[in-house]
Chains A and B, each alone.
Chain A
Amino acid sequence: MVSKADRVVLIGVGGDSGCGKSTFLRRLKDLFSKELVTVICLDDYHSLDRKQRKETGITALDPRANNFDLMAEQAAALKSGQSIQKPIYNHETGKIDPPERIDPTPIVILEGLHPFYDKRVRDLLDFKVYFDLSDPIKIQWKIQRDMAERGHSYDDVIRAIESRRPDFSAYIDPQKQHADVVLQILPSELPEKKDGTKKIKAAMVQVEGIPNYDPPYLFDRAISDVCWKPNFPNSDPELTFCYGTTDYFGRPASYLSIDGEFAPDDSPELEQKLRNTSETRFGELASLILKHTDYPGSRDGTGFFQVLIGLKFRSIYEALIAQSLAAAKV
Chain B
Amino acid sequence: MTTDYDKLIEQEKAEAKQICSINGDGSPQCAAAWDAVEEVQAAASHVQSKEKKPNSLQSYCADNPDAIECRIYED
Contact = CB atoms under 8 A, between A and B. Distances in A.
Interface in B1-46: 3, 6, 8-9, 13, 15-16, 19-20, 23, 25, 27-46
Contacts of B29: 54, 57
Interface in A1-58: 17-18, 22, 50, 53-54, 56-58
B48 interface: yes
A157 B48 CA distance: 19
Given A57-B32, A59-B35, A145-B41, A156 B13 contact: yes
Summarize B's interface: helix, strand, loop or mixed: helix
A104 B27 CA distance: 41
A80 B28 CA distance: 39
A149 interface: yes
Contact of A57 (B16, B27, B37, B41): B27
Interface stretch (A161-169, A188-196, A258-266): A161-169
Interface in A111-152: 145-146, 149-152
Contacts of A22: 46, 49
Band of interface residues on A: 20 to 34
Contacts of A151: 6
A226 B75 CA distance: 49
A17 B43 CA distance: 10
Contacts of A252: none
B39 A17 contact: yes
Contacts of B49: 22
A91 B32 contact: no
A160 B37 contact: yes
A160 B40 CA distance: 12
A168 to B, nearest CB: 10
Nearest to A16: B38
Interface of A: 17-18, 22, 50, 53-54, 56-61, 91-92, 94, 145-146, 149-152, 156, 159-160, 162-164, 166-167
Interface of B: 3, 6, 8-9, 13, 15-16, 19-20, 23, 25, 27-46, 48-49
7 contacts: A50-B39, A54-B29, A57-B28, A57-B32, A150-B41, A150-B44, A163-B33
